Structure 1
Amino acid sequence: MSVHFIPAFADNYIYVLESSAGVWIVDPGDAEPIFQWLAPRQMVPTAILCTHHHADHTGGVAALADHFRIPVYGANKRIPALTHPVAAGKLAISSAEIQVMEVPGHTRDHIAYVWNASLFCGDTLFAAGCGRIFEGTPEMLFHSLQQLAALPPETAVYCAHEYTENNLRFAALVDPGNPVIRDRQIQAQKQRERGQPTLPSSIALERASNPFLRCADPALIASARHFDPLSGGTALSVFTALRRWKDQFS
C-alpha cells in the first residue's frame, strides 16, 4: 500500500491510500486538492473514510462522493453524504479488510482505521501529542489512547495534522530528561526545513516519547503535580492535568 500526503488548509493532511485493492481517501476536508491530485494520475477512488465530523476533515466529502459516485464511511450522520455508518470491528471494502476502532474523546463518535499495519487516527493521537477534548471526557480520550498504544509497535501512525514540532516542545517541557524527545525534535526540525511531513510516526516511537501515553512514568507524574499540586498519582489524573496544561501551552 502507498500512502500519499495531500496538504490542506494550514496544517491538515488528507491521505490517499493506493493499493491493488483500490484507492481510498481519508478525511477530505477540502475536495479541490484531491481533484487536482487524482486528475493527472487518472485515478478513480474506491471510497471515502472519515474519522470524525469536524469540517476540516469532511468539508470535501460531498463533492467527492457526488463526482465519483463512491460510498462514504464514518461513525454516523454527522458525516456529510454518509452512506455506510460503521462501528468497531472489521470493515470489508473491495478486497481490503480494514479494522475500525472506536476512539472517542476529541469527539464522542471519533473512529480510527487500521489497514496493512498503518493507523489513520484523525485527531485522537498526534505525533508526540493528542487531540483536544471537545465533546468527550478526559477518561474517554485516555482510554482511547490506551487502545491505540496497545497496537503492535511497528504500526505506522498517520494523524491528520502537522502539529509535531509544537507537541515536541511541550513534551520536552514535561519530560525534560527523555533523550528520545530531544532526538525527535532535531529530526522534525530537519524534516520541516526540507518541506517534508514529520509523519508517519510509529506506535513504538509514541510509547517512548508521547507524554500522553506515558502517564504512569514518574517524570510525568512529577510534572503533572508541578502544574496542579492537587492532581493525583493515577495515570488518568496525570493525563487530565497534562491535557489541561497543553490547552494553555503555545
Structure 2
Amino acid sequence: MKKVLLPLFILMTLFLIGCNARHPPKEIDADLIYDKIPEYNATTSYYPYDYEKFQPVLDQVKLQYPNDDLVNQGEFANYKAANFYADADENMNFVTQKEANTYKTRSELRQVNEWSTSDTDGNYWVATLRCLKPKVGITSYTWMQIHGTHDSYNYPLLRLLWARSYRGVYNHLWAVIIVSDPDSPFIYEWIDMGEKPEGFFDVEVHIKENIMTILLNRNIVTTRNVTYWENVSNYFKAGVYINRYNDGGEVSAIFSQLHFYDNPNDVVSPHH
C-alpha cells in the first residue's frame, strides 16, 4: 500500500508545483519603492558657493525656505544648511519637509532680476538634475517655475514637476502651463514629459520673443506662443516646492548644473 501511495504523493506534488509555476509572481507595490534622501552632515557637506560652476546663478538669486527669504542675493558665501548644501560629488542639494494638512513649503532659489516673455535676447533656464521619488504621503512636487511678480500677476506661467499618479500615469514628470490670459479664469494644460529618469537628466526652458520651448535631454517637449503673458514680469525658480495641502513628507532634488541665462550666446543647446 505504501508503494502505491508514494508515487501518488509525488505526482500530486509535481502537479501542484506545476500549477504554482503558471501563476505570475506577486507584483511589488510601486509605492514601496522610493529614493532615499541623502542625510545632511555638517562635517562632510560643502558650501554651494565654493563651486565656481554655481557662482553665476547664486549671484542672481535669493533662497526661500520654507516660505520666507532665508538668504539674500550676495550672501551665499559660507552658507549651507540641511535644506540647501553641496555634497562631495559637487552637486547642489535642495530638501524640504511638510506636515500633512498644512500650508505649502519650499527650498527654492528665486531669481531677483525680472523679465518679459517678449525680450528679444530671451531668457533661458538650463539645468542637469535628479528628481528623487519621495515616500508615500507626497503626491507631487515642483522643481522648476516661471513665476509672475506680486505687482504684475502672482502666478506661475510654467511649473515642471514630479507626480506620483496623474491621469492614470505613474511616476512621470509633467509641465503645467497656464494657457489662459491673465485677465481670464485659469486654464491649465498638463504635458507629459515621460517617466521620471532614474539618474540625472538635462532640462532647458527657453523663452524668446514670446516663444517658449521646453526640452528634456535636448529633445523638444513642446513649443508654445505665450504672447498672452508678455505684460507679466517674471522670474525663474529652481529647487523643491510642495503645495498640496494634504501632502506630508520630505522631498529633494539634486542639481549638478544650474544656469539662468539672458544671452543666447551662453546657451550651448542647438535649440535657441
TM-score by length of 1: 0.26
- TM-score using structure 2 length: 0.25
Answer with 1 or 2: which has the greater Rg: 2
Higher relative contact order (CA 8 A, sep 6+): 2
